A and B are shown apart, each in its own frame.
Chain A
Amino acid sequence: MTDLTHMTLADARDALKAKKISAVELTDAHIAAVEAARSLGAYVLETPDQARMMAKASDDKISKGVAGPLEGIPLGIKDLYATKGVRTTACSHILANFVPQYESTVSSQLWRDGAVMLGKLSNDEFAMGSSNESSAFGPVASPWTPPNWSVEKAKSVLAGDKKGLLVPGGSSGGSASAVAAGLCLGATATDTGGSIRQPAAFTGTVGIKPTYGRCSRWGIVAFASSLDQAGPIARTVRDSAIMLRSMAGHDPKDTTSVDRDVPDYEAAIGRSVKGMKIGIPKEYRVDGMSAEIDALWTKGADMLRAAGAEIVEISLPHTKYALPAYYIVAPAEASSNLARYDGVRYGLRVPGKDITDMYEKTRAAGFGPEVRRRIMIGTYVLSAGYYDAYYVRAQQIRTLIKQDFEKAYAAGVDAVLTPATPSPAFGIGEKGGADPVEMYLNDVFTVTVNMAGLPGLAVPAGLSSDGLPLGLQLVGRPFDEETLFSLGEVIEQAAGRTKLPEAWWV
């Protein structure tokens, strides 16, 4: 670990611009950190040669005075993003060795703006999971250690099966772990039901899922098309704002992306929140929520109040239906989106005695248990005779959830404050083994936001009594990410930036 790998993205950017550091030395420091942290499992593919080449090009541009807004900034890319000429697998065996001939729109915008690619980051297989344990490359460890574990114990478990070490959350667990461990200055992520916000909350980092349609989905492996959105995970609110500006924008290749200007999100940092109305939805006080989370929530509201915001209780009455409806809509779309992985054109093929046998063997070998489960759920809910009872009703619930938020916003609420997760990070191997729903409950505060297509920001707000990071979620009006950045930074300042763990894994 060096100072270079623990700078904020904003500071690194300014230092590069001022030529206090070079892109090459910044990148080299990160390459070294990534190599030393292989045991965490955050990166599934390192691209040091490409990184150095890009960094060198950045230094040239900086010296010529034609630097882009992210010039020389080393980033990690979630393995769901297609990267041209660089293996992209969505962390699934079925895409083992798949090398795209194309670059996703969002990552290409980052390269356009001068960013440097360090490699590909682990995620739950096809982004299905909340702990990164379903990655075909194995689980990813959080740089945070379980309470009362010695460094020796953590290191020895890390060298083995990682059981008991903390999950970084998921599905963007590699992104969150890498950002928290100083293995990149920021990372791309995706969020279908909470896959940016929950890992950010678990690792003491900041993540934003922008409004549906804000970022192009083109070139990002699809999980559930009507819910998937790209977004960044970074170490500060400002850093995530800087990244989102480069990632967002209209793409004619994605007709669900929205054609409207991308604001300078960074300019929203430090903007006064005085007079803003913050809704506290009573329905989010769910059964079994720990007193600690409840207290954090109250503390967050106090911080915003102290900054001049008005706190009001609101009702989002259909909240309790969101999780079950989500687990119909998302698997339904996934069952169809994943039909293309059939062994015919690319990726894994297991030969069979005829085409059906080949399909069955390929998909049985290629997909892990969680993906298979969701394909089966999705196939079932779309089947003749069940479609109306499940899929149609789930879509109706979705409309009601959206209307709940619309009513709150129409009543003058500027943003909604909720916990990001019902608990701090849990241990690898601890949850979901017998009952998958145990794992699904992680998303209880986040899925509503995807179902409504709204922007949601997760920001660290303190530590648990055990010393683990806890996050709060801010939910905004459609395309009002700026307000979330303004409010998020207030919480960040008031809570004090979370001190990320030392590199015990080296």
Chain B
Amino acid sequence: MNAIVDTRTLDPKKLIKGATGDWEVIIGLEIHAQVTSHAKLFSGASAEYGGEPNAHVSLVDAAMPGMLPVINEECVAQAIRTGLGLKAEINLRSVFDRKNYFYPDLPQGYQISQYKSPIVGEGEVIVDLPESGGQITVGIERLHLEQDAGKSLHDQSPSLSFVDLNRSGVALMEIVSKPDMRSSEEARAYVTKLRTILRYLGTCDGNMDEGSLRADVNVSVRRPGEGFGTRCEIKNVNSIRFMGQAIEYEARRQIGVLEDGGKIDQETRLYDASKGETRSMRSKEEAHDYRYFPDPDLLPLEFTQDYVNELASHLPELPDDKKARFIKDYGLTAYDAGVLIAEQDQANYYEAVANGRDGKMAANWVINELFGRLNKEGKDVSTSPVSAAQLGAIVDLITENVISGKLAKDLFEIIWTEGGDPRQVVETRGMKQVTDTGAIEKAIDAVIAANPDKVAQAQAKPTMIGWFVGMVMKETGGKANPQVVNDLLKAKLGI
């Protein structure tokens, strides 16, 4: 293990006010990410989520006598891809160890994991902070492969517990961060970003509801400028929101203990989401002695740099690269680019709309109109009623001056609820913008003739022109091209 290094400079804005002064919270995360693969890490059984209890269990998963693990190459490739996505060192030789403990949902009596020699070493994740602004870099300590355990079911019988081994042996990546986060917001943003990277890579679906992504959260507090304090580990937090709450609670709890003259005991805690508090699970003294040793059933895992290079050459564009490209190629702000790349299918949707069009206008329509509406209705781009082609057509109609921006919003609404080809809808519903100066002039003349007093006012105060524009638009049913109206009015009013 590497020595713990404080990589951050103190940011006074992130301090927590206690009764006796300011405190800084230090957070490090261990993320368990289920590897996306068809089969388990060391057996051919299906790694699919769900299914009848014990339907996806091989002889190896059930730890029958004489059974042996055989490494699933796809899981190894996924771990390497993830390491590459985390800009991390890939270890061409790593070792599987046994972590020994007794539990009914652990059939072998040990978990096959990687202890001293993980497959992936140090890396980093760049994290944007949407709430407080700015960007931080979170260091990755390591990533290793290990088996998941089964599930104990305690609610099936009054006197017995049941065991479901469907998950037993499913491949997990444990991704250990350095203690580089200084607020619950940073921790949430880190997990969100990590999940984005994993989803881009296709190495973990990041589904926290199904337990594909779980976090063990290490929290400690200290006075600004002091060394690291004693940490507590909050186990198995399964939502980003709960993680934020757990950190807030735990930091406050530790500050309370310390300000009351107490000391923090290193321990493992659980977050109770219903009560919004953490509580002690076991102390350091009660911690297991896992008796790690190299698994003699498995040879060290070795592969070549060529193998890594081959995987690297097929990696998809990663979120940071995509963001940089969106800023450069489409002229987007960092914020808009960040919103668009958060999910790969959002980014793909955006690119389909922006392709061959004004990137900024496309971004406005995708983020403000589409995402706003999707959000309101609890949908996402994959279930969007408006396709990228349809939204692109709407943007085209604006650019071609066929419809105004205002009418475009009405058109979007129609496409959202009724569907159809936007161009045709505009045609059939007579939503086409009037650019015929003759018709507009006629409308202007009528407004001027009816309002001689306003004409005088406008000539004295040119901003009054807005009133005339509104009147003309009303006269034309909103279909007049606002620019043409403006130009003609200026000429006729002599302003």
0/1 interface trace, chain B 160-188, chain A, CB 8 Å (1 if under): 01010000000000000000000000000
Is the CB of B110 closer than 8 A to any CB of chain A? yes
Q: Given that A88-B65, A98-B65, A384-B289 are known contacts, is A255 also in contact with B71, CB under 8 Å in the complex? A: yes
CA gap between A340 and B299 in the complex, in Å: 21
For the complex, give the distance between the alpha carbons of A253 and B293 in Å: 22
Which one of B101-109, B251-259, B451-459, B470-478 contacts A?
Answer: B101-109
The answer to whether A333 and B70 touch across the interface, beta carbons within 8 angstroms, is no
> Which of the listed residues B65, B66, B68 has the most CB atoms from chain A within 10 Å of its own CB?
B65
Q: Is B461 an interface residue (CB 8 A)?
A: no
Shortest distance in angstroms between B341's beta carbon and chain A's nearest beta carbon?
A: 40
- Tell which of B56-64, B216-224, B307-315 binds the partner: B56-64
Which residues of A, 341-363, contact B by the 8 Å Cβ criterion? 342, 344-346, 355-356, 359
Q: Tell yes or no: A54 within 8 A of B by CB.
A: no
Q: How far is the CA of A57 from the CA of B65 in the complex (A)?
A: 29
Complex: chain A residue closest to B165, CB-CB? A345
A342: chain B residues within 8 A (beta carbon):
102, 104, 109
Q: Indicate if the CB atoms of A345 and B107 lie closer than 8 Å.
A: yes
Residues of chain B contacted by A255 (CB below 8 angstroms): 68-71, 297-299
Complex Cα distance, B65 from A155, in Å, reads 37
Q: Is the CB of B107 within 8 A of A220?
A: no
Check A359–B71 contact: CB distance below 8 A: no
A277, B110: Cα distance in complex, Å: 46
Measured CA separation A100–B62 after assembly (Å): 12
Given the complex, which residues of B lie within 8 Å of A340, measured CB to CB? 63, 65, 107-109
| Residues in A whose Cβ lies below 8 Å from that of B98 | 336
Q: Is the CB of B296 within 8 A of A382?
A: no
| Minimum CB distance partner of A391 in chain B | B293
Given contacts A336-B98, A340-B107, A342-B102, contact A100 B64 (CB under 8 A): yes
Residue in contact with A219 in the complex, picked from B62, B66, B70, B109, CB distance below 8 Å: B66
Q: Which residues of B contact A95 (CB under 8 A)?
A: 65
Assess whether B67 is interfacial by the CB under 8 Å rule.
Answer: yes
With A226-B296, A382-B291, A384-B289 known as contacts, the answer to whether A82 contacts B66 (CB < 8 A) is yes
Q: In whole angstroms, how far apart are the Cα atoms of A81 and B65 in the complex?
A: 9
State whether B293 touches A332 (Cβ < 8 A). yes
Q: Is A222 an interface residue (CB 8 A)?
A: yes
A359 contact set on B, CB distance < 8 A: 102
Cβ-defined contact, A253 with B110, below 8 A? no
| Binary contact track B61-97/A, C-beta < 8 Å → 1, others 0 | 0111111111100000000000000000000000000
Q: How many residues of A contact B (CB 8 A)?
A: 44
Given A255-B298, A339-B100, A339-B102, also A217-B66 (CB < 8 A):
yes
The SS class assigned to the B binding surface is loop
Is A252 located at the chain interface by the 8 A CB criterion? yes
Task: Give the distance in Å from the alpha carbon of A216 to the alpha carbon of B289 in the complex.
Answer: 32
How many whole Å from B48's CB to the nearest CB in chain A? 22
B407 to chain A, nearest CB (A): 67
A217, A255, A256, A391: residue with the most chain B Cβ atoms closer than 10 Å: A255
Question: Would you call B291 and A336 a contact (CB within 8 A)?
Answer: yes
**A397 contacts chain B at the CB level, 8 A cutoff:** no
Task: Identify which of residues 318-344 in chain B touch chain A, using a CB-to-CB cut-off of 8 Å.
Answer: none
The distance in angstroms between the C-alpha atoms of A120 and B257, with both chains bound, is 65
- Complex CA gap A384/B298 in Å reads 22
Chain A residues closer than 8 Å to B109, beta-carbon distance: 336, 338-340, 342
Binding site for B on A (CB under 8 A): 81-82, 88, 90, 95, 98, 100-102, 104, 217-222, 224-226, 252-256, 332-333, 335-336, 338-340, 342, 344-346, 355-356, 359, 379, 382-384, 387, 391
Interface residues of B (CB under 8 A from A): 59, 62-71, 98, 100, 102, 104, 107-110, 161, 163, 289, 291-293, 296-299
Q: List 23 A-B contacts (CB under 8 A).
A: A81-B66, A101-B64, A222-B65, A222-B297, A225-B297, A256-B299, A335-B291, A336-B109, A336-B291, A336-B293, A338-B109, A339-B109, A340-B109, A344-B104, A345-B163, A355-B104, A356-B102, A382-B100, A382-B293, A383-B289, A384-B289, A384-B291, A391-B293
Q: A82-B66, A252-B70, A256-B298 are in contact. List 6 more A-B contacts (CB 8 A).
A: A100-B64, A255-B299, A256-B299, A335-B100, A342-B102, A356-B102
| Nearest 4 pairs of A and B residues by beta carbon | A339-B109, A226-B296, A382-B291, A225-B296
